Each structure stands twice: as C-alpha cells, then as structure tokens.
C-alpha cells in the first residue's frame, strides 16, 4: 500500500509495533505498508515497510507476538501473499515459530 489512500477506514488501521499509548497509532501518509493477512496478527493490521528493499520484502518477516501458538516470545511468520510488480501489498501468515 504505497502512497496516499482515500479510503477513510484504511487510516484507522493499527500499525504493528506502534506504541499502544500513542494517541494516533495509525499509518503515516509518507510511509509504505503491507497488510498482514491471516494468523494471530490478522484484522487489518499493517506493517511499516518503509525503506525495505525488494529483496527484504520478498523474504517476508518473523514478528514477535504473544497471540501466536508459542505465547510471549513466540514469532509469527509472514511472507508475500501476492506480488504487485516487485512490491507485495499483503503478507500472508505461514505459521508460528518459537
């Protein structure tokens, strides 16, 4: 999800890793995001990938989450769910790891 979005609901989404005490934890207009789809972090959550290279985006990510199968300290694996050129717009859940 690159650039400005007109969809008001998009701006209300939570960004992974945002400070829960932040009065405005939503997306920043100048940043690039991928949507996390499936698994414990689903629900419209976004991951800020600003500055990530195409290779980093293609690799996917392991995200800390106490909501996964391994509880606190566990990680959720997300990989590109679809490719829009070299920039995926969604990361799909692939499972949990300790």
Give one DSSP letter per residue of the chain, joined into a string. --S----HHHHTPPBTT--TT-S--S--TTS-EEEEESSTT-SS-EEE-TT--HHHHHH-EEEE-TTSTT-TT-EEEEEEEEEETTEEEEEEEEEEE-
User: What is the reported pLDDT for 24?
Assistant: 81
Structural domain includes residue 20: yes
Structural domain includes residue 1: no
User: What is the reported pLDDT for 8?
Assistant: 66
Structural domain includes residue 22: yes
Structural domain includes residue 2: no
Structural domain includes residue 3: no
Is it the case that residue 58 has pLDDT exceeding 50? Answer: yes
Q: In total, how many domains does the chain have?
A: 1
Structural domain includes residue 52: yes
Residue-number span of the structural domain to which 40 is assigned? 8-97
Is it the case that residue 4 has pLDDT exceeding 60? Answer: no
Structural domain includes residue 76: yes
Structural domain includes residue 71: yes
């Amino acid at each position: 999800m690159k650039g400005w979005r007109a969809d008001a609901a998009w701006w209300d989404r939570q960004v992974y890793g945002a400070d829960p005490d932040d009065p405005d934890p939503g997306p920043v207009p100048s940043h690039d995001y991928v949507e996390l789809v499936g698994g414990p972090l689903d629900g419209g959550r976004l991951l800020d990938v600003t500055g990530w290279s195409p290779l980093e985006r293609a690799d996917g990510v392991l995200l800390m989450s106490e909501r996964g199968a391994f509880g606190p300290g566990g990680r959720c694996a997300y990989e590109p769910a679809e490719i829009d050129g070299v920039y995926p717009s969604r990361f799909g859940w692939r499972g949990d790891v300790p």
